[in-house]
A = this chain, B = another copy of it.
Amino acid sequence: MNKPLDVAVLPGSLRKDAYSRKTANALKALAPPTLALDIVEIGQLPLYNDDLDTSTPPAAWVDFRQRIAQADAFLFITPEYNRSVPAALKNALDVASRPYGHNVWAQKPGAIISVSPSAMAAFGANHHLRQSMVFLDIFVMQQPEAYLGNIGEAFDQTGTLTSERTRAFLQRFIQSFADWTTNFCKD
């Protein structure tokens, strides 16, 4: 049997009780054995600044870049801040795309889930992320799109996913993603 794919999961909110983090945890339980999901932290990364990107860049950048370089695939779980991507998540994208010629996101499959307490499900963040991924050369899954609106109703107080509808959707989503990765992650 093959080794499972190393899937780096990036929740876009830094809040400890963020819905993006709860969704990430729920996905870990639902993923098929061909995928190994690992939540990767992004809150410790200094804001990208070319002047710091010397031969000795910030240690947090170095570690993050290594982690991303190692991964086989990516799952982005994003809330929406001001109709776009949270700065913390955009910063993670920027950090691991530099310096020029060292974009470690490139040529790997990815997928996006947007989550929001509102009905509109962070559509704006979802598609702004997609625009960046064209340049980053991440092979983003098209369907099923994943818009989790009214997300506050899907989890109980302890952070457990209690919505059967959301669970069923995420199950289908993560299986579709496993299928999608097989287009690119050849033996």
Contact = CB atoms under 8 A, between A and B. Distances in A.
B132 A84 contact: yes
Interface in A12-66: 13-16, 43, 45, 47-51
Contact of A119 (B90, B93, B119, B143): B119
Number of copies: 4
A138 interface: yes
Interface stretch (A68-76, A121-129, A159-167): A121-129
A131 B13 CA distance: 20
Nearest to A149: B119
Nearest to A106: B143
A88 interface: yes
B84 A85 contact: yes
B149 A86 contact: no
A83 B135 contact: yes
A134 B142 contact: yes
A145 B135 contact: yes
Given A48-B88, A49-B43, A87-B91, A128 B130 contact: no
Contacts of A88: 47-49, 87, 91
Interface in A85-134: 85-88, 90-91, 93-94, 97, 106, 119-121, 123-124, 127-128, 130-134
A136 B84 CA distance: 11
A184 interface: yes
Which 4 pairs show the lowest CB-CB distances between chains A and B?
Answer: A87-B91, A14-B49, A119-B119, A123-B123
Interface of A: 13-16, 43, 45, 47-51, 81-88, 90-91, 93-94, 97, 106, 119-121, 123-124, 127-128, 130-140, 142-143, 145, 147, 149-150, 183-184
